[in-house]
Amino acid sequence: MSISISSSVTVAELAAAASLSNSAAAQRPQQTTNGPVDTVKLSESQQVYQLYNQGQTVSQIASGLSLTVELVNSYLGIADAAS
């Protein structure tokens, strides 16, 4: 008894399929084996404090968080200079 296997797939097509598979795998984020990652959602005011303590200016913080300068100043307890 003999078995004959024939395929119309070329070596180039197999190589292309393998390449696509490898590139798709490279785009997926790698999972760590350390278990689940804990994340914390900071409030807007906490984000402002953190960025300010990292050395960002009030205008940089306002721009980065899409807030007004007045609101950032309020979160930081900075009195409005125009008052």
pTM over 0.85: no
**Residue in 81, 77, 44 with CA at minimum distance from that of residue 61:** 44
pLDDT profile of the chain (83 residues), mean per 10: 52 59 58 75 94 96 96 90 56
Write the DSSP assignment of 11-79 as a string of letters: HHHHHHHHHHHHHHHHHSPPPPSS-PPP--PPPHHHHHHHHHHTT--HHHHHHHHT--HHHHHHHHTPP
The domain ranges of the chain are 44-76
Residue 45: what pLDDT? 93
Contact assessment for residue 49 and residue 76, using Cβ atoms and an 8 Å cutoff: yes
